[in-house]
Amino acid sequence: MEASIHDNQLSVVYGRKTIDFSLLYCDRKTMEIAVLPDSTVIVKAPVQSDIALIEKKIIKRARWIIRQLNYFKQFTPKTPDRCYVNGETHLYLGKQYRLKLVEGPENSVKLSRGFFHITCRSEPTPTAAKKLLNQWYSEKAQVQFVESMDRCWQKFKCLGIDQPRLSIMRMQKRWGSLSDKGTVTLNTDLIRAPKECIDYVVTHELCHLKYHDHSPEFYKLLDSVIPGWEKIKHKLELSMV
Examine the domain organization and report whether 165 and 50 are in the same domain: no
**Position 32 pLDDT exceeds 50:** yes
pLDDT band with cut points at 50, 70 and 90 for residue 116: very high
Helix boundaries (H) for the chain: 51-60, 62-73, 126-153, 195-210, 216-225, 229-239
For the chain, give the number of residues.
Answer: 241
Q: What is the mean pLDDT of residues 174-192?
A: 91
| Assigned domain for 69 exists | yes
User: What is the spatial distance between Cα 190 and Cα 199, in angstroms, rounded to a whole number?
Assistant: 10
- Please indicate, yes or no, whether residues 131 and 206 belong to a single structural domain of this protein: yes
What pLDDT score does 232 carry?
Answer: 92
User: Where in the sequence is the domain holding 129, given as residue range(s)?
Assistant: 89-239
- Same domain, yes or no: 13 and 97: no
Do 30 and 132 belong to one domain?
no
Residue 32 lies in a domain: yes
pLDDT of residue 77: 46
Residue 133 and residue 31 share a domain: no
Do the domain assignments include residue 79?
no
3-state DSSP assignment of residue 106: coil
Domain count, the chain: 2
Query: Given this model, what pLDDT does residue 121 score?
Result: 94
For residue 1, name the pLDDT band (cuts at 50, 70, 90).
Answer: very low
Instruction: Classify residue 177: in a domain, yes or no.
Output: yes
Mean pLDDT, range 90-103, rounded to an integer? 95
Q: What is the CATH number of the domain that holds 148?
A: 3.30.2010.10
Is residue 157 scored above 90 in pLDDT?
no
Rounded percentage of the chain residues whose pLDDT exceeds 70: 93
- Confidence (pLDDT) at 2: 35
Per the model's pLDDT, the better-predicted residue between 216 and 232 turns out to be 232
Whether residue 215 sits in one domain with residue 115: yes
Residues 145 and 229 in one domain: yes
In a domain, 84, yes or no: no
In this structure, the answer to whether residues 221 and 136 fall within a common structural domain is: yes
Give every CB contact of residue 90 below 8 A, 6+ residues apart in sequence: 82, 96, 97, 98, 99, 116, 133, 192
Looking at the structure, tell me whether residues 122 and 198 fall in a common domain. Answer: yes
Q: Residue 240 pLDDT > 90, yes or no?
A: no
Instruction: Give yes or no for a contact between 74 and 175, defined as CB atoms under 8 angstroms apart.
Output: no
Residue 104 lies in a domain: yes
| Residue 13 domain flag | yes
Is 62 in the same domain as 118?
no
Q: Which of these ranges, 54-68, 69-83, 154-168, 223-237, has the smallest mean pLDDT?
A: 69-83
Residues 148 and 232 in one domain: yes
Is the same domain home to 65 and 134? no
Residue 26 lies in a domain: yes
Per-residue model confidence as pLDDT tens digits over 35-80: 887 788 999 999 888 999 999 999 999 999 998 888 777 555 455 6
